Structure 1
Amino acid sequence: MELRPSSIGHGHGHNNSTLSHGSHGERASQDNTIRNPSMEYEQKIIEPTISSSWYGESEEGRDIEQQHNKQNPTQISITPLIVDRDERNGGNEHELHNPEVISNPNFSEDEDAPPPPPDGGWRAWCVCLAAHLVFMNSWGWVNSFGVFQTYYKELLQRPASDISWIGSITVFLLFFVGTLTGRLVDAGYFRLVFATGIVLQVLGVLATSLCKSYWQFLLAQGVAARWPWASRLVGSVSGGLIFTSLVRQLLPQAGFAWTLRAAAFIQLGTLLVASVLVKPRIKPRRSAPMVDLSAFRELEYTFYTIGCFSAYFGIYFAFYYIASFSRDGLANPLSYTESLNLLLILNGIGVIGRLVPAWLADRIGAVNVFIPNVIAASILIFSWIAVKDAAGLYAWAVIYGPIAAAIQSLFPTGLSLLTKDLNKIGVRMGMSFTIVSFAVLTGPPIAGAIIDRQGGAYWGAQVFAGTGLALGTSFLIAAKVVRMRRTGMGWMGKM
């Protein structure tokens, strides 16, 4: 097949004759004269034609040509994205020329395209409800771990660092193994993954209600109850509120075992509803490679990932230790029930941090919103050292809650903005999530070990968490600077 530019001319010599569509030998291509917007000369776009000079004019050549066409029935499409400029309009762009397409009649361009997502109506609201219920039972359960951190420390008589491993393994699996289960979903195993998640989630919580020793809690709540099949959204806020309130009310009256069973029944009921409402929209497809090392040659991506890795050493510190701090670190310690109110505030006020920063990110860029929130979180963790009474701690929780929620929600959004090739967003997110998973795995236990080493004092762990956030800020700013230099945008440029 031969594409003939206009500069060759329209010669009709023997060797340049074209494949005709009819008995009269009419030409298969038509000339469209346009002006190239970036050049001063005119050019002609000519439809692709099959040159018989490839095969010769003999009968044998025509037979070869016909055989070639039978074996290559693929679509041929020329889509010139050249903007016509009207000199009378001052050279302004005003019209896109429609491309000329020669296609296989049996080929459908939209054959594999997924249906559009629901936008309004009953179906759309069902999807929202299903997503909310799933996120409530995944990240909402994670954000309520501070309830168990305080209880397990007294029940098991283990150091704070040991107890933290239960919660940190939970978050680690959500980040790390979630990348693997995402591949299964892409391959068309959504129902299998979802059903497995429900079974392991509920059975893990039920098994936790029967645990007596540390290693049993570690396996049942840390591993089995956390099949990574969901992501984060506002549902994590409601989940943190519901499960924290549940434990706060039932634990003193019904005991630990029945409190966990009640939580398991809530999870089972809500997840069954979600399983009925949710339906895969995108057809199974071949997943991209799990690793794309070329991404780390882009400095903004590398700096952003390192910055998030460092920041996530400290972001969950408050969720794990604010309740225990209120009982051990204040001049007038709070009771167990009162200490859980701090977790309720920390989770409940987080809804502001899920919604408002998302609204701002649409207007000024997710990274531009992400960086100030990480800076603020670092400052707040350091300022926590100065809190000595309950009133100050309540005020601190009200301020920190939205900021921590914003950081958790903006992290993946910023990653998507740093990826130029949209086909690589999934693999690059997976790599960053895997790297960050080791920070959330080790951060809280390290903080707990520092608390134990200092004899129950929290200031060393607070410095550790605040430093992680501050170091993360420096790398995030470096990512911003690299993007600025590469694109020439200013500090206020959307990113």
Structure 2
Amino acid sequence: MMESVDEKKIEAIPNSESASESLSSPSSPTTLSPWTGYLQILSGHLMIFDTFGYIGSWGLFQSYYISTLGRSQSDISWIGSLQIFLIYFVGTFSGRVLDAGYLRTTLAVGCSLQIIGIFTTASATAYWQILLSQGICVGLGDGLIFCPMISLISTYYEKNRALAVSFAAAGAATGGMVFPSIARQLIPTLGEPWAVRVMGFVFTFNSVIALIVVRPKVAPRKSGAFIEWEAFKELPYLLYAIGIFLSLWGLYFAYFYISIFGSKILHVPSAPSFYLIIAINGIGLPGRIFPAYLATHVVGNALYVLIPLTFSAGVLLYLWKYITSYNGFLAWIIVYGFFANAVQSLFVGSVGSLTKDPQKMGVRVGMIFSIISFACLTGPPIAGALIDLDKGNFLYAQIFGITSVVCGSAVLVAAAIASKR
């Protein structure tokens, strides 16, 4: 069972946002119930449901926008990759906000931007409008939410940090099944605008619940920069940043293009293509939780589990080029989705294992997020440009993905070795 929140006397964080933001130190000791920690995981699950669950459905949006807007693969993928970029890039700033004690305010602003972006996307008809609403507005909201929530959960758990974070990160899997299902059921009957509005109502419900139960644990650290340059003088941290950049550079492009590969290369009708999106997201439930349990209760270090999983994802990208049938592709997606989801879940817990001071958790996790944001921004459009260059074939993009992920796993090995010295 996951470890409960430390029940020793700790310094309390005032419940009201105004109180927590006006005091530089806590006022009185209290005891946190284990349920407080569990509720933070629930809050994180709901918010990641709205962030990566929505992004995990991008394959459907990619196909839809290409058919309705008449733009290239690379042009459309910039919308989704910009959204992922902002999730991670804004992490440097939103992570530091957690350390400073402004958690609930930051989350409220982020949720508001998400909801505004979703509802304006429903009314958008031009490429630039969708880029602004879905790419930038929703992306900014995601960035204000994701890093603080992951960092918050990390402060509640030490021994079982990777497992706790993975339960929250599994929201990407549940959201990645719910949002495509909404699109599948409602677009044919109500149209795309109302399907997106219903998604907006789901965002609103999740946001209200999450904001009610969220509560910081660590005392605010008012001083300190948004970037801790000293961290890069630690060789394990530096190598880890490089390794995870390379790994995620090639990891995400499958999420963007599996639907297109199914329809254009395998000539699969739209209905079966929908199940490809469901499969790669649905497998994220065991993919995010089981490896985290292994890292926590068997191996004892998330980084040691992350490395072979990352390498395996690279090998699977190599095998992609041999897929010639729908059933074979579906099987490949299930296996690849397991490893890819595991990598996305464990890399956050691995950052925590390299951070000894919990008061620096937010800024250090945020720094890694900002570094990999550029991998997420450029990776899918590069893959799209390579697909266009290869006249619609996927070989060039697959080679790009294989190379970056395998090289990234090699650098992660170096980071693990350096951390032992």
Q: Report the TM-score when normalising by structure 2.
A: 0.84
1:155–1:434 distance in 2 versus 1, CA, 3 Å: same
Q: CA 1:133/1:421 → structure 2, altered by over 3 Å: closer, same or farther?
A: closer
Q: Which SS does the other structure have where 1:221 is aligned?
A: helix
Partner of 2:12: none
Larger relative contact order (CA 8 Å, sep ≥ 6): 2
Structure exhibiting the larger radius of gyration computed from Cα positions: 1
Partner in structure 2 of residue 30 of structure 1: none
Change (3 A) 1:216 1:435: same
Alignment equivalent of 1:457, drawn from 381, 384, 393: 393
The answer for the alignment partner of 1:152 in structure 2 is 65
Q: 1:293 to 1:199 in 2, by over 3 A?
A: closer
**Are 1:246 and 2:147 counterparts?**
no
In structure 1, what is the Cα distance between the partners aligned to 2:212 and 2:360?
31
Q: In the TM superposition, what whole-angstrom CA distance separates every residue of 1:60-92 from its partner, at most 9, and x where no partner exists?
A: xxxxxxxxxxxxxxxxxxxxxxxxxxxxxxxxx
Identical positions, percent: 40
Distance 1:352 1:116, change over 3 A: farther
Q: Which string of whole-angstrom CA distances, capped at 9 and with x for unpartnered residues, describes residues 403-444 of structure 1?
A: 111101111211222345555443332222111110000000
Write out aligned runs for 1:81-120 (5 A). 115-120=30-35
Deviation of 1:294 after TM superposition, in Å, equals 2.8
Counterpart AA for 2:290: V
Instruction: State the 1:150 CA deviation.
Output: 0.9
Q: Does 1:284 align with 2:220?
A: yes
Partner of residue 436 from structure 1, selected from 372, 375, 379:
372
The residue aligned with 1:411 is 347
Using the TM superposition, name which of 194-203 and 211-220 deviates more: 194-203
The equivalent position to 1:269 in structure 2, one of 205, 226, 237, is: 205
Aligned-pair Cα RMSD in Å: 1.9
| Residue among 168, 180, 186 paired with 2:81 | 168
CA 458–449 in structure 1, closer or farther in 2 if over 3 Å, else same: same
Give the direction of change, closer, same or farther, for the CA distance of 1:156–1:457 in structure 2 (3 Å limit).
Answer: same
Matched, 1:348 2:282: yes
Secondary structure at the aligned position of 1:386 is classed as coil
Structure 1: distance between partners of 2:66 and 2:83: 17
Q: CA offset at residue 283 of structure 1?
A: 4.3
Q: Within 2, Cα distance between the matches of 1:279 and 1:422? A: 16
Q: Which residue number in structure 1 is paired with residue 159 of structure 2?
A: none
For 1:230, the equivalent position in structure 2 comes to 145
Partner of residue 369, structure 1: 305
Cα gap change, 1:203/1:426 in structure 2, threshold over 3 Å: closer, same or farther?
closer
Instruction: Please say if residues 182 and 195 of structure 2, whose CA atoms lie closer than 8 Å, have aligned partners that are also in contact.
Output: yes
> Structure 1's 198 and 297: CA in aligned 2 closer, same or farther, altered over 3 A?
closer
Aligned position for 1:31: none
Task: Check conservation: 1:346, 1:401, Cα contact below 8 A.
Answer: yes
Paired residue type of 1:118:
S
TM-superposed deviation, 1:153 = 0.8
Give the match's secondary structure for 1:394: helix
**Aligned residue in 1 for 2:92:** 179
Unaligned runs of 5+ in 1: 1-109, 487-495
CA–CA distance in structure 1, aligned partners of residues 356 and 211 of structure 2: 34
**Structure 1: distance between partners of 2:238 and 2:86:** 22
* Alignment CA distance shift 1:464-1:283 (3 Å): same
- Alpha-carbon displacement from aligned partner over 1:424-480 (angstroms, at most 9, x marks no partner): 443332222111110000000000000011111011101111111011011111112
In structure 2, C-alpha distance between the alignment counterparts of 1:177 and 1:225, rounded to whole Å = 12
Letter in 1 for 2:225: P
Give the CA deviation at 1:335.
1.6
1:388 and 2:324 equivalent? yes
